Amino acid sequence: MKYLVLLLVLAVAIGVMMLGRRRAKPPSARVPSPAPTPAASSPKDVQSMLACAHCGVNLPRSEVVFDAGGRPYCGHEHRLLGPAR
């Protein structure tokens, strides 16, 4: 019976030591990672902008008109006029 109590105390002591070690680690691992900067979302917007092949004005991809050759234009008028020379 004596040995059983000794073993229990030893087990509890080891458990406390393990817990202490685990609790000592987080401060270094818990360093807050830098939040993603809002500027990271802007390159996407830049990528979706296209310059008119005739006048060079930048437009969102959704507002661009493409000709048969795949060139972007700001409107049907410039698409008919064709690329600038």
- What DSSP state is assigned to residue 64? -
Q: Does 52 bind Zn ion (CB under 5 A)?
A: yes
Q: Does 79 bind Zn ion (CB under 5 A)?
A: no
Select from 50, 54, 71, 79 the one that contacts Zn ion (CB under 5 A).
54
Question: The tokens 């500027």 sit on which residue?
Answer: 39
Q: Which of 73, 76, 53, 69 is nearest to 61 (CA)?
A: 73
Tell me how far apart the 2 most distant CA atoms of the chain are, in Å: 100
Minimum distance from CB of 48 to Zn ion (Å)? 17
Q: For Zn ion, how many residues bind (rule: CB under 5 A)?
A: 5
Residues that bind Zn ion (CB under 5 A): 52, 54-55, 74, 78
